[in-house]
Amino acid sequence: MDLISPSSGLIFWQLFGLIYIGFWIYALVDLVRSEFRHAHEKLMWLLIILFAPVIGTFLYLSMGRRSKSKRKFDPQFSKRN
């Protein structure tokens, strides 16, 4: 039972791991749903996130927004048949 005591720090690492997994899943979902200016950029970011997960996740979340293409809002889209 000494392994789960609050003084061991295990709870801290488990909480840190859960938060990191949340960021990792968010980055992957955002990557899949986004459109990039160049076709190879999505594959490049996917490989970085998968093969360098700790660094790649936070690199994508901080730098990936710059390489995404801007979505154009079309107010007439919902009125088309």
Q: Where are the domains of the chain?
A: 9-67
Helices (H), the chain: 10-33, 39-51, 53-63
At 2, is the pLDDT very low, low, confident or very high (cuts 50, 70, 90)? low
pLDDT tens for residues 50-70?
999 889 999 999 988 777 776
At 28, is the pLDDT very low, low, confident or very high (cuts 50, 70, 90)? very high
- Give the integer Cα–Cα distance in Å for 49 and 24: 8
